[in-house]
Amino acid sequence: MSELLWNLASFIIALGILVAVHEYGHFWVARRCGVIVEKFSIGFGKALWSKKGKDGTEYSISMIPLGGYVKMLDERVDEVPEELKKHAFNNRPLWQRSAIVAAGPIANFLFAIVACWLAFMIGVTALKPIVGHVDNGSIFSQAGIASGVELKAISGIQTSDWEAVNMAIVSHIGDESMTVTYSDKENIGVDVTKRLDLTNWAFDPEKDSPMLSLGFLPYRPALTLDVANVSSNSAAEKSGLLVGDRLLSANGQTLTEWQGMVDVIQANPNKAVTIAVMRDGKEIALTLTPDSKETATGEVIGFAGVSPIFEEWPEGYRYEKQYGPIVAFGKAIEKTGSIIDLTLTMTKKLFTGDVALNNLSGPISIAKGAGTTAEYGLVSFLGFLALISVNLGIINLLPLPVLDGGHLLFFAIEGITRKPVPERVQEIGYKVGTVMIMSLMAVALFNDFMRL
pLDDT at 358: 57
* pLDDT at 390 > cutoff 70: yes
Same fold, 125-221+315-321 and 223-310: yes
For a pLDDT cut of 70, what percent of the chain falls above it?
89
* pLDDT tens-digit map of 84-103: 889 999 899 999 999 999 99
Average pLDDT (407-431) is: 87
Q: Three-state SS across the chain? A: CHHHHHHHHHHHHHHHHHHHHHHHHHHHHHHHCCCCEEEEEEEEEEEEEEEECCCCCEEEEEEEEEEEEEEECCCCCCCCCHHHHHHCHHHCCHHHHHHHHHHHHHHHHHHHHHHHHHHHHHCEEEECCEEEEECCCCHHHHCCCCCCCEEEEECCEECCCHHHHHHHHHCCCCCCEEEEEEECHHHCCCCEEEEEECCCCCCCCCCCCHHHHHCEEECCCCEEEEEEEECCCCHHHHHCCCCCCEEEEECCEECCCHHHHHHHHHCCCCCCEEEEEEECCEEEEEEECCEEEECCCCCEEEECCEEEEECCCCCCCEEEECCCHHHHHHHHHHHHHHHHHHHHHHHHHHHHCCCCHHHCCCHHHHHHHHHHHHHHCHHHHHHHHHHHHHHHHHHHCCCCCCCHHHHHHHHHHHHHHCCCCCHHHHHHHHHHHHHHHHHHHHHHHHHHHHHC
* pLDDT at 81 > cutoff 80: yes
Which is the catalytic residue, given 23, 58, 176, 334?
23
Active site residue 58: no
pTM: 0.80
Task: Please state which of the ranges 66-70, 126-130, 348-352 shows the lowest mean pLDDT.
Answer: 348-352
Q: pLDDT higher for 239 or 425?
A: 239
Average pLDDT (371-400) is: 83
Average pLDDT (262-277) is: 92
Average pLDDT (397-426) is: 88
* pLDDT at 78 > cutoff 70: yes
pLDDT at 394: 92
Average pLDDT (401-409) is: 89
Q: pLDDT higher for 108 or 82?
A: 108
Q: How confident is the model at residue 286 (pLDDT cuts 50, 70, 90)?
A: very high
| Topology classification of domain 125-221+315-321 | Pdz3 Domain (2.30.42)
* pLDDT at 51 > cutoff 70: yes
Average pLDDT (269-279) is: 92
Residue-range domain boundaries for the chain: 92-123+324-452, 125-221+315-321, 223-310
| Topology classification of domain 223-310 | Pdz3 Domain (2.30.42)
* pLDDT at 397 > cutoff 80: yes
Q: pLDDT higher for 325 or 434?
A: 325
Q: What does the mean pLDDT of the chain come to?
A: 85
Task: Please state which of the ranges 284-298, 340-354, 393-407, 433-447 shows the lowest mean pLDDT.
Answer: 433-447
Task: Please state which of the ranges 114-128, 242-256, 426-440 shows the lowest mean pLDDT.
Answer: 426-440
Q: How confident is the model at residue 325 (pLDDT cuts 50, 70, 90)?
A: very high
* pLDDT at 363 > cutoff 70: no
pLDDT at 59: 92
Average pLDDT (116-123) is: 94
Average pLDDT (354-367) is: 57
For a pLDDT cut of 90, what percent of the chain falls above it?
38
* pLDDT at 319 > cutoff 90: no
Average pLDDT (189-214) is: 82
Q: How confident is the model at residue 425 (pLDDT cuts 50, 70, 90)?
A: confident
* pLDDT tens-digit map of 142-170: 988 888 899 999 998 888 888 888 888 88
